[in-house]
Every structure is written in structure tokens, then in C-alpha cells.
Amino acid sequence: MNMRARLCKRLDCPHNISLSIQVVNCSTPANYFHVIRRQCKMDFRKPLIIFTPKSLLRLPAAKSALEDMSEGTSFRRCILEDGAASKNPEGVKKLILCTGKVYYDLIKARDEKKLDSDIAITRVEQLCPFPFDYIKEETEKYRNAEITWTQEEPKNMGYWSYVKPRIETATGHAKKV
């Protein structure tokens, strides 16, 4: 039997229930390693749901250095923009928030169109509990930018209905998503 993970169904639950689970979509081998390690080392058990596509296994861009898995490193709930856009945040026109494999498609398109300094891309690696602090920090850093959520799935099947109100809360409803 072929069972597809319905992302929206996993997260479409009351707020208090969503705090008792962890949902991640890792885009790097290092983050995948760290989330498993974190789960094993926790003092208490909390269900962990990992939505990471098999296609990342052979994607050349999806790689991590050994240093990313060495001592002093840990799971990153969000992987913030660290390219040309981060050097001049006032000049960024669009902040794209995404999760998982679509990040690599976005990077490729941004590079092809030479929009490195106009578009910042931030990966939300942990969706539940939602990383309000990182989203607030990024939206404040790129305060002139339009905020966009991008996903591979259609609007009614991905994380959109879950993340939209949370992004709005993180920004204090100051920006439209």
C-alpha cells in the first residue's frame, strides 16, 4: 500500500496538541544527523515527525561538511540567509521562507537570474514547535522586503495553512504574507 504523508493533516490540530510533537523538514545531512541525535539525548520523549524527501539523498547540492556534525554544533531550527543578501539587508526586496528540498530549487533559480542581493531565502527546518524567534529576527532584519512562503505542494496540501498565521504572529501582524 502506498501511503503519502499529508503534511497539512499532521499539523492541522489544536495549538496545545501541536506543542507536544516535533515536526521537522531537514534540508542538510548535518541537520538530519543533529535532529536524530537531539531526539536520542532528550531527557523526555516527544514524538518526532521528519518530512525529508528521498530525493535529497542524491542531490549534489544537499551536502554537509564533517565540521557541521562535529563537537559544538547542533540542530538548527532555521537556517538563515548567509549569502550576498545578508550583507545588505536594506536592499533586499523579497524574503522567501521555505522548508525542505524546494530551497535548492529556489537557490538555483535565484542564481540563474542573478538576484543574489535582491532575494533572501531562509529555511524553516523545524515547523513544530514553530520558531517564532527566528522568523521575527529575519523579518526585522529584512524590514523592507516582501515576505513570501514557498512550498512544493499546492496551497491546500502543504504547510501554508499552518505557517501563515504563525508568520503573521511572529511579525506582529505588521506585514502581509
Choice between 64 and 19, residue whose per-residue pLDDT is larger: 64
In a domain, 22, yes or no: yes
177 part of a folded domain: no
3-state SS, residue 148: strand
Residue 42: pLDDT above 80? yes
Integer-rounded Cα Rg, in Å, for the chain is: 16
pLDDT > 70? residue 7: no
The answer to whether residue 126 is domain-embedded is yes
Does residue 176 lie within any of the structural domains?
Answer: no
End-to-end CA gap in the chain: 37
Q: The domain that contains 101 carries what CATH number?
A: 3.40.50
117-156 tens-digit pLDDT: 999 999 999 999 999 999 999 999 999 999 999 998 888 7
**99 lies in which domain range?**
3-171
**Residue with grid cell 528540498, as numbered in its chain:** 101
- 3-state SS of the chain: helix, strand, coil percent to 5? 40, 15, 45
Look up residue 163 and give its three cell numbers: 505557517
SS3 letters across 47-109 = CEEECCCHHHHCCCCCCCCHHHHCCCCCCCCEECCCCHHHHCHHHCCEEEEECCCHHHHHHHH
Residue 158 pLDDT level (bands cut at 50, 70, 90): confident
Residue 109 reports pLDDT greater than 90: yes
pLDDT tens, position by position, 49-82: 998 888 888 899 999 999 999 999 999 999 999 9
Distance of CA 143 to the CA centre of its chain: 19
What pLDDT does 50 receive? 93
pTM recorded for the entire structure: 0.87
Cis peptide preceding 165, ω within 30 of 0 = no
Cα separation, 28 vs 54, in Å, equals 12
Helix (H) or strand (E) holding 36: helix 29-41
- Total of domains in the chain: 1
